[in-house]
């Protein structure tokens, strides 16, 4: 009976902890490609060590504790985008509007190649 009581306590405690988190979900798009999904973009919580990547369809899911968050979206060669005041409630799913990333304009400086005379 004692083992059963301990097992029941552990199950209830684990269930309550699972209920304490909420979910943030959304999709990241590429504005340069007619708003197609941007696969493998990085989605991170600002001031937290929680990161994820979008899947092949540009979708992401983050499981976090309830609170107010700022998300940062990034991809190499694209401008970073931040979305703030995201409210997450326990046991609820917070859907973020579609986030569109825009490619950075890269400006290269002139390179001059001059031959060196061998002696």
Q: Which domain CATH number covers 87?
A: 2.60.40.1120
Q: What is the pLDDT of residue 114?
A: 84
Is the pTM higher than 0.75?
Answer: no
pLDDT of 106: 75
Within a domain: residue 77?
Answer: yes
Contact 17, 65 (CB under 8 A): no
User: Given a cut of 90, is residue 117 above it in pLDDT?
Assistant: no
Residue 33 has pLDDT above 90, yes or no: no
Say yes or no to pLDDT of 14 above 70. Answer: no
Q: For residue 85, is pLDDT > 70?
A: yes
Within a domain: 118: no
Structural domain containing residue 90: 20-101
Most confident stretch, 8-12, 45-49, 74-78 = 74-78
In this structure, is residue 14 part of a structural domain?
no
Question: Does residue 5 form part of some domain?
Answer: no
Residue 7 domain-assigned? no
What domain count does the chain have?
Answer: 1
Whether residue 11 is contained in a domain is answered as no
Residue 116, in any domain of the structure: no
- Exposed / middle / buried, residue 12 (Cβ in 10 Å: 0-12, 13-18, 19+): exposed
């Amino acid at each position: 009976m004692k083992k059963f009581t301990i097992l029941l306590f552990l199950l209830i405690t684990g269930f309550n902890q699972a209920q304490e988190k909420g979910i943030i979900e959304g999709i990241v798009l590429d504005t340069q490609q007619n708003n197609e999904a941007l696969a493998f973009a990085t989605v991170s919580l600002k001031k937290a060590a929680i990161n994820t990547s979008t899947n092949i369809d540009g979708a992401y899911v983050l499981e976090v504790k309830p609170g107010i968050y700022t998300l940062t979206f990034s991809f190499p060669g694209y401008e970073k985008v931040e979305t703030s005041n995201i409210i997450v409630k326990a046991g609820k799913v917070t859907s973020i509007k579609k986030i569109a990333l825009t490619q950075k304009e890269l400006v290269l400086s002139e390179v001059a190649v001059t031959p060196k005379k061998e002696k």
